[in-house]
A = this chain, B = another copy of it.
Amino acid sequence: MRTFTYTQRVYFSDTDAQGIVYHAAYLDFAEHARTELARELGTSGLDGDRALVVRSINISYEKPAVLDDLLTVYTTVRDLGRVSMTFEQIIRRGEETVATLLVKVASIDIRTKRPLRIDEELVKALQ
């Protein structure tokens, strides 16, 4: 599957008193990238029936990013199941890897909160 890229500038709102990007802010950056991926595909996989929820995240911090950095988030779907999918997301500053994430997202029924098959249109767009 192809890799999508998203560019994220680092602002004061993303940093902490250690002078670097606050460790939870990378989850925001990754979420922005997944949202833009859906926008690029033309379908979010959401409709009146479905929501996509994050089930688990493994994040490894390699190098700290700092204020004013221009980061790129590379997002690839690594596993596309019937009711869940896993994204690999690599955050880089130029050639340097800042952080890597594995993000498992599940499709659920909005009312019952139970697993619901991923939207067909999204599956097709991802393949």
Q: Is the interface of A mostly helix, strand, loop or mixed?
A: mixed
Query: What is the interface residue range for chain A against chain B?
Result: 20 to 34
Q: Collect the chain B residues with CB atoms within 8 Å of residue A39's CB.
A: 68
**Copies of this chain in its oligomeric complex:** 4
* Chain B nearest Cβ from A15, distance in angstroms: 4
Mark A1-22 against chain B: 1 for CB-CB distance below 8 A, else 0.
0000000010111011111101
Cβ contact within 8 Å between A67 and B17: yes
Is B12 a contact of A22 with CB atoms below 8 Å? Answer: yes
Tell me whether A56 and B67 are in contact (CB under 8 A).
no
In the complex, the answer to whether A53 meets B60 with C-beta atoms within 8 Å is no
Residues A18 and B12 in contact, CB atoms below 8 Å apart: yes
A58 at interface by CB-CB < 8 Å: yes
Pair A24/B13 contact, Cβ less than 8 Å: yes
Complex: how many Å from CA A114 to CA B57?
26
Complex interface: chain B residues within 8 A of A22 (CB): 12-13
A54 within 8 A of B: yes
Stretch at the interface among A26-34, A71-79, A85-93, A116-124: A26-34
Instruction: State A9–B28 Cα separation when bound (angstroms).
Output: 13
A-B contact pairs, 5 of them (CB 8 A): A9-B32, A12-B18, A24-B31, A55-B61, A56-B60
